[in-house]
Structure formats: C-alpha cells, structure tokens
Structure 1
C-alpha cells in the first residue's frame, strides 16, 4: 500500500504553496517530510488528508485516485491526520477525547501513562506536550492505515519524545511525519526522507546517513 502526491499543486489565494510536488509513502513504513516553516511540509500533509484542495496534480492511495475524495471519507478508509495545532477537543475531558476513538482507553494509557491521572481534566487546560500526547494517543486508538503527524513531539520532554518516535516507528501502518529536521530518535531507523524548500522537493533518500547532512 502506498499513498502519494503526484505533481501536486496547492494555492492559498494568489500564492502557490506546493509547486508540482511528487512524493510517495509506503506501508508499513516511516516517511519524513523535512523543511523550515513555509517550506510546504504541512501543506503536503494537508493535501494527503484532503483538508486543502489541489489546484493541480493528484493524490493516489492504493492505486486509486482519491483527489476528489473528501477528508471524512478518507478518514473512514483509515487515514488519520494529527495537525500541529488544535489537535484535541479542548472542551472535552481527556477521557472523552479518548472515547471518541475507542471505548477502552487502555492501549492509549499504556503508550502514555502520564495521561492516566488527567482523564477528568479538560483537554484545553493541558500543557502543549500533554495535548500532543493526547492527540497521538487518540490517533493510535483509531488503528489508522495511514497516520499523518505534524511535529509529533512538540512540547514533549526528551524522554517522552523518544518514546513517541519509538511508537510511531513500530506501527504496522503508513506513517508520514512533518519535521523541521530529522529527529535524533530516528537516527539509524529505516525511513525515507523528503526535504522541501519553498514548496518543492529538493532532496530525497533513505534516512541512513541523513543526520550527517
């Protein structure tokens, strides 16, 4: 299984954010989109999820063109997007957020035991790192076929971040991460990397040795 962008173009008003981007993410496997703010990495994730329309090109999933498939139907097929911001329902409790994905939160609490004492807290009162844990825990509970995550470890302690990358790298799914730079926790792990600048792919290759760039 593969999900891919083929010559994808995205416009925000008069500005083009993606200039004919082509990339592919296999499953199971880990793909990392690298780039500074404004590089197009977040837009590429949103294009795969269908939350921004393409002005040109296509999104292909399992060999089928899903460019016109709306986000909720992609979600029903097993695609899950964890955005950088507003990734949790702030007015719901931690427990209620998890129940949206599964009745039994056990696996989520095994992944992030720090959430256990917070189950009755409103998600909007959590720290940034705690909200990232909650968003990822809910995503893991949904057992996605394709998981798209923007800045997965933002706000987390180094230990929790390392645990997060271990969890993501071990999933039997297509996992696509958007990062500013390749995290040290992924050094030595199999992954394919695309580097974006100003809306275009400028470098790509296996992650082995990428840390030396």
Structure 2
C-alpha cells in the first residue's frame, strides 16, 4: 500500500477521543494529532507506565501511576524501592511480581529505573536492560520525539487486515511497515492504528460499517 496507505491512515482514521476526526480542525490535512493514552510527564514516567500496561488497560494503569510516581518520583527512587512496597502499589495491574523488581539492586524494573536517565541523553531506551523493542519504540516516539513504530497486537492485526503485511512476528511487521511510513510519522501511524483497533476494529466483530477505511480495506465486510 505504501504512500497511499500512509496518506489514507493519516487522513481518514477515526482515532481521537470524543468526536470523529472529520469534525475537528487541525493543521495536518484535517487530521488531529493522536495522543498516547498513558498519563505521563516525562520519559521515565512513560517507560514505567508502558511496562505496567502489559496485559492491563491504560485506564487501570492511569489509576495506579499517580501513587507510583508520588512514592518514586525519580528513576533512582524506583531503583531503591523496597520490593514488597512497590508490588503493593502496582498489584492491580496484574503480573505485579514480574513488573516490580525482585530486589532493590537486582531486577528488570529496578535496572530500568536506574538507567533510564542516561538513556534519555542518547535517545536509546532500547539499551535499558529488560526493556523490549515495543516499549522502547513507545518511549522513543512519544516521549523523545524520535523515530519509532511500536507494534502491539492492534498494530499487527490492523496492518494485516489492511493488506500491509502477512507477518505475525512484531519485529517483522515493524520492518515491513517502516519503509511505508515517513520516519517522522511512525509514532503517529502506530497510535492511530492502536486507537482505531480499540474503538472500531477489534479482533472480534470489527465494526466495518462504521470504519472510515472500508473503501480500500481488503478485509472489509461491508
């Protein structure tokens, strides 16, 4: 689909909170900017929120992070957290034992927090131990304003339905999509697919009759 897909997804996808994007003014071809739905004020907070969002809704994460960041406002604070106290704060996000550090000095979340500040300098959150490619791309594209195309379950599903790839491996999907999307637009492209997938094109019973992409989507049931 190439440039056609890029322009179409930038210019048509209904991805904003509230009214349709067709009803909102914007300076970019009549399209509002998609916003990450995880509440955050800096790259550290976005990294922590993204980690917590695994197998958890953004709404639930946003209910937890105010207490988390009040207790641990800086990466160094999180790195020195008492494990059981941290686990109690993030318990409601599920899989809390794996999302919190196993010990103050030895655990993926601890190392993530401790090393994030240095990673901000060179824009390489992917170098933070324990941080996967998708999470790193979220931080790069949203918080650091660097190229990054996060591929989650929604991005993978919609890109296949739109005929942009047949791959199921997230890294392979990203590699196929990258040449189709300008580097500066990759983060927005991913966000639009994610929000469209949540609201219009879920895995079961996609609402094709409401979809603004149905005119060129090969999977449309309309």
TM-score by length of 2: 0.28
Q: Higher relative CO (CA 8 A, sep ≥ 6), structure 1 or 2?
A: 1
State which structure, 1 or 2, has the greater radius of gyration over its C-alpha atoms. Answer: 2
Q: Say which structure is richer in helix.
A: 2
